Structure formats: C-alpha cells, structure tokens
Amino acid sequence: MKKSLMSLLAACALSSQTHAEEIKPDTAARFIATFYQAIQQHDLTTVSRMIDDHVVIKVLWIQAAPAQTFSLSKADYLQQLKATWHFASNDHYEIKNLTANIVNGVAVVTLQDNESRVLFGNKAGQLNNLKISLSGDNGNPRIATITSQTAFL
C-alpha cells in the first residue's frame, strides 16, 4: 500500500511538471509580431514552422458581389507568399489594433493588417481584418486558424 501510494504521488508530481502551460495573451501578441516580421523578411522557413500543418485558413473577399469565401491549406498559403515575394517589390505590412485574449482556453489574436507593395510595376495593397487562433503551449505556440475579411486597395 505504501509503495503504491508513493508511486501515485511520484506520477502526480511528474505530470504537473510536464503539463504544457496555456498560451498567455502577451506570448500570443509577441508570436504574431514575430510571424509578421518573418513575412516582412521573406523567411519562409520560419513562417512555415509557425503554422500548424492542419491550419484552417478562410479568406472572405468582401468587395466581390456577392462576397466570396476562399479556403487555403498551409501549402496554399505558403505558395501565395512565395508568389507575392517573387513578383512584388517594396512590400510592407502595417499592423494595427492588435489584441490578444484567451477565449474558451484558446489564445485568439485580432488585428488589422494593411499591406502595400508594387506588383508588376503598379502599386497594390489590401486591408485584412484578421482573427488568428493559436494551438500548442506557451513555449511553442502555432497558428491553428486564420480568418480574414479582405479588401483590395
């Protein structure tokens, strides 16, 4: 009896040490800032590592009549970034109104992303209102979902 009680106490002590810490709002905000820094620097390896392999990305193009929704996989999203980096120059990402909260135990970041670039010699841009949820833990967050309402400028 004494031996099994000691084993149970040891197991409880170990499980509390290995339990992942929930993602905190300040960690989520820093993570998203780092994500956009990697995008600005065209660091595809870092961007890819920051996105979960099973990410769900939904883009609502609000200027279409009627509005259209597109779904992207991680591979689709990364390909879009690579194409943008290849064909565009002078790209810039301005992040505004970033807030990070915990909603039902999940870190959720909302922000406004104003993108500008020169594409095929013409100024182009888009305004994205984003909601990004993170999975993982405080030491290793990853982007689990991205929902965007997008308008071209």
Domain boundaries, the chain: 22-152
Closest Cα partner for 89 from 42, 43, 127, 48? Answer: 42
**Residues 88-147 pLDDT 10s:** 999 999 999 999 999 999 999 999 999 999 999 999 999 999 999 999 999 999 999 999
Write down the pLDDT at residue 131: 99
Q: Cα separation of 98 and 79, whole Å?
A: 26
**Biggest distance spanned by C-alpha atoms of the chain:** 78
Tokens, residue 67: 């509005």
**Angle at the Cα of 138 (from 134 to 144), degrees rounded to 5?**
15
Fold of 22-152: Nuclear Transport Factor 2; Chain: A, (3.10.450)
Which letter, b or e, does each residue of 53-63 get, where b requires 16 or more Cβ atoms within 10 Å of its Cβ?
eebebebbebe
Sequence-distant (≥ 6) Cβ neighbours of residue 101 within 8 angstroms = 25, 107, 108
Q: Does residue 8 contact residue 1 with C-beta atoms inside 8 Å?
A: no
pTM of the shown model: 0.85
Q: Average pLDDT over the chain, rounded to whole?
A: 91
46 vs 106: CA distance, rounded Å:
22
